[in-house]
Structure 1
Amino acid sequence: MARAFLRHKGAVIGLLFLVALGLIAALAPLLFPFSPWDMQGAPFTPPGEDHFVLGTDSLGRDVAAGIAYGASVSMLIGVVSTLAAVGIGVLLGALAGYAGGRVDDLIMRFTEIFQTVPGFVLAIVVVAILTPSLGSIVVAIAVVSWPPVARVVRAECLSLRHREFVQAAEVLGRSHAAIICREILPNVASSVVVLASLMVATAILLESSLSFLGLGDPNLMSWGFMIGSGRSVIRLAWWMSVFPGVAIFLTVLSLNLVGEGLSDALNPRLARRRG
């Protein structure tokens, strides 16, 4: 699997970028030993002047520091919300696919309720009700992200529940929970891992969009907030919006490339062809 992933050049480049981004986020307090909210220079300082690599914003705050601190916020929200969504989706999808019948119908109708409402609109409503904060953003993104996971897991469980190894486990008297956890879910893991890697990118975009609209955590610097604060002066200080936008673009692109690499590596047919 590792060899198949490493042969995917785009996935390797994406992984290296994500590792570098993680290091920048982790070392942000050392690279910029001050709050990203503090004024560090004259407002609207262009990139490259007065030791400001990416310039300053309308209040004299260092744009590079904002991007570095915002990286940890975006990655944290993306990973935590994805883990929560995957947990909900796997639980409901596995229960629906394995139980079948009325249980399956009930869970799928419940899933369709969330899918009929536009995800971004639902996320705005959830954050507005819970008040903007880190926790409410994670909850909102998890709420709108779990249905695709549930459908994928359900489809896999439906195809696996009648396989010989599952029937053998039933004959041996194993509990339904043990069969789902030990026999079915390990065979579904590859699909979930690939989907999760793509969901992190979607979560980062959602968080950036919410922050752009002013629904982000007011105590945390984020890329979406930086773009939103610079949109009114885009002609005067283009760097305020461009550099955070480039950071979002490269991060989402890298996550998608890693997802494609994982898909190829975890797909037995593609792995055999390349092997």
Structure 2
Amino acid sequence: MSSPFLTSFLRRFSRNRGAMAGLAVLLAVVLMALVGPLLVTNDPWAMVGQPFAAPFSVDGLPLGSDTMGRDLMAGLLHGARVSLLIALISTTVALLIGVTLGALAGYHGGWVDSTIMRFTDLFHAVPGFALAVVMVAIFQPSIYSIVAAIAAVTWAPVARLVRSEFLSLRQREFVQAALLAGQSDTRIIFTQILPNAVSSIVVMGSLMVASAILLESALSFLGLGDPNMMSWGYMVGSARTALRQAWWIAVFPGMAIAITVLALNLVGEGLSDGLNTRLTGKK
């Protein structure tokens, strides 16, 4: 990435106030995930007080306690790490699968394209959330099955996006020049076409992280979360039986999910503006 491009990107990104606000919130969440568990003395699984303690009513429990007397603040801080970890890993796996298959389909075309796209259509034909529920239920709820399920239901749109980018870019002059120069298909894909499609992939990846957090939360709400991992989704799911009695048990992790997802969407919008060179010079 050249210095002029980086400078131009930062200038366009910083013009989007929503993206800057989202980035600030996202950095705060990441910092909370990294440092928070080190600052909280309570174990998120330990029963440290009476159940249903209201926020700021008990010393040492600023956000109160849940149905089992566990510290909600400790749960939020530890849950940030787990929720972000699941979202990042599942998104990375989905991007690897989607980019690989989309690049092969878009570059080679013909029967390769038809075969890969028909396989991709299978995942589009089944509702993503329903497929994720079935996969986690079959393989037993765990962090591994959740990551695999989220990746399985989110890679198909990436493959279609990358395919369309490759179909367009492979007709460009610089690709034809590389073919005439005798460069291999692998080298052309990785050095000529993929760098020109990376902006769209980056923007989609940021939005996929937000979708992954929501998917994990939905699975946990249905009781399909990892019972050994304290995540925001697990906290909301465990509070569903006491929503009327203790609203704060679900509200605080729910707000954390909503704010983080909103921040990621704002950052994704900012990345789209920043990587769109056609916006250069616009205010």
Question: Which bracket does the TM-score occupy, shorter chain normalised?
Answer: over 0.9
Measure, in 2, the Cα distance between the counterparts of 1:65 and 1:134.
Answer: 20
Question: Which letter maps to 1:247?
Answer: A
Deviation of the 1:272 alpha carbon: 3.2
**Who is 1:208 aligned against?**
217
User: Which 5+ residue runs of structure 1 have no aligned equivalent?
Assistant: none
Q: What is the DSSP-based 3-state SS (H/G/I as helix, E as strand, rest coil) of the residue aligned with 2:282?
A: helix
Measure, in 2, the Cα distance between the counterparts of 1:53 and 1:159.
Answer: 55
Contact map agreement 2:42 2:71 (CA 8 A) in 1? no
Is 1:154 the counterpart of 2:159? The answer is no
Contact map agreement 1:43 1:58 (CA 8 A) in 2? yes
Contact map agreement 2:12 2:274 (CA 8 A) in 1? yes
**Who is 1:42 aligned against?**
50
- The alignment covers a number of residue pairs equal to 274
Measure, in 1, the Cα distance between the counterparts of 2:140 and 2:36.
Answer: 28
**Who is 1:129 aligned against?**
138
Contact map agreement 2:220 2:233 (CA 8 A) in 1? yes
- Could you state the TM-score of these two structures normalised by the residue count of structure 1? 0.98
Measure, in 2, the Cα distance between the counterparts of 1:98 and 1:230.
Answer: 49
Is 1:62 the counterpart of 2:89? The answer is no
Deviation of the 1:29 alpha carbon: 2.6
Measure, in 1, the Cα distance between the counterparts of 2:62 and 2:98.
Answer: 43
Measure, in 2, the Cα distance between the counterparts of 1:196 and 1:35.
Answer: 33
Q: What is the DSSP-based 3-state SS (H/G/I as helix, E as strand, rest coil) of the residue aligned with 1:64?
A: helix
Is 1:112 the counterpart of 2:102? The answer is no
Measure, in 1, the Cα distance between the counterparts of 2:10 and 2:49.
Answer: 47
Percent identity (aligned): 60
Deviation of the 1:31 alpha carbon: 1.9
User: Which 5+ residue runs of structure 2 have no aligned equivalent?
Assistant: 1-8
RMSD of aligned residue pairs (Cα, Å): 0.9
Question: Which letter maps to 1:16?
Answer: A
**Who is 1:74 aligned against?**
83
Is 1:24 the counterpart of 2:32? The answer is yes
Cα 1:135–1:240 shift into 2, 3 Å: same
Is 1:103 the counterpart of 2:103? The answer is no
**Who is 2:189 aligned against?**
180
Question: Which letter maps to 1:205?
Answer: L
Contact map agreement 2:37 2:74 (CA 8 A) in 1? no
Is 1:11 the counterpart of 2:19? The answer is yes
Measure, in 2, the Cα distance between the counterparts of 1:250 and 1:228.
Answer: 18
Q: What is the DSSP-based 3-state SS (H/G/I as helix, E as strand, rest coil) of the residue aligned with 2:53?
A: coil
Question: For each residue in 1:164-213, what CA deviation from the matched residue of structure 2 results, as whole angstroms up to 9, or x when unmatched?
Answer: 10011111111101100000000000000000000000000000111111
Measure, in 2, the Cα distance between the counterparts of 1:36 and 1:239.
Answer: 16
Deviation of the 1:26 alpha carbon: 1.0
Deviation of the 1:23 alpha carbon: 1.1
Deviation of the 1:7 alpha carbon: 1.2
Measure, in 1, the Cα distance between the counterparts of 2:255 and 2:53.
Answer: 19
